[in-house]
Amino acid sequence: MLILGFIVAMPQKVRECKVYAFEPSIFNLEWLGKNVFLNKLVEKIVVISNPLTEIISQNTLNFSSAEWGGALTTFGQSYGHDGKDLKKVFQFSTLGISMNDAKNLLKIPQPEYIKIDVDGIEYLILKGGEKVLLNTKELLIEVNEKFVKQKNSCDQYLKKLGFDLKEKKRSDLFKNTDFSSSYNQIWVK
């Protein structure tokens, strides 16, 4: 089993899977590396510190927080998870890569399962992964439904690639917060 993820939770140790985790945040990379090591998953998880995007490109990784473990970061765009302007507190220039190019150039095997949680540029990542997605069994993607353009683009693109929305969930902790319209959607073939 192969899982490709932008930010990925630790796989259960009993499962035989390989995870390629794309994590460009310098504030999260240290924690991810420590968790991989402490959980004795060095052989199962490959960490790639470049962001996924539509095409290979140099651009800025824009942060709304400089806290370790923080979220709400975007690559090459000025908007965040809600489609509104991102209040940047930190940024640096880096290289982004598409899923298709990551598979081909980095020799990453075809993933069976993909998780995408990238705070607003989900559609761009999907667009750069058409060849990979055609052969993927299942996709978990976090989408803010109030960011209508993003939600509709993701829905249309995934349906075009043969996926069906199986379910969507969100934690009750997000009720009555800025994230109350963000859902983890599970798409299957």
pLDDT digits (tens, 9 = 90+) for 117-143: 888 899 999 999 999 999 999 999 999
**pLDDT range class, residue 67, cuts 50, 70, 90:** confident
Q: Helices in 42-121 by DSSP H: which ranges?
A: 99-105
136-147 pLDDT, tens digit each = 999 999 999 999
Q: Looking at residue 8, what DSSP letter applies?
A: -
Beta bridge partners of 61: 75, 92
Query: How far is Cα of residue 31 from the mean position of the Cα atoms in its chain?
Result: 17
Q: Which helix (H) or strand (E) holds 157?
A: helix 148-160
What is the mean pLDDT of the segment spanning 84-113?
94
- pTM for this prediction: 0.86
CB 59 within 8 A of CB 76: yes
CA atoms of 158 and 161, how far apart (whole Å): 5
Amino acid at 183: Y
* CB-based contacts of 43, cutoff 8 Å, min separation 6: none
Residues of the chain above pLDDT 70, percent: 92
Give the domain ranges of the chain: 2-188
- What is the pLDDT at residue 10? 43
Q: What pLDDT is attached to residue 61?
A: 94
The label of the residue with tokens 């809600």 reads 82
Over residues 166-178, the pLDDT tens digits come to: 999 988 888 888 7
Across the chain, mean pLDDT equals 88
Alpha-carbon distance 30 to 50, whole Å?
A: 14
Lowest average pLDDT, out of 35-44, 67-76, 89-98, goes to 67-76
Q: How confident is the model at residue 12 (pLDDT cuts 50, 70, 90)?
A: low
Separation between Cα atoms, residue 77 and residue 114, nearest integer Å: 22
- CATH of segment(s) 2-188: 3.40.50.150
| Token pair for 40 | 């004795």
What mean pLDDT comes out for the span 107-112? 93
Q: Where are the beta strands (DSSP E) in 2-145?
A: 2-5, 18-22, 45-48, 57-63, 73-75, 90-96, 113-116, 138-144
Phi, psi of 103 (to 5 degrees): -65, -45
Mean pLDDT of 89-94: 94
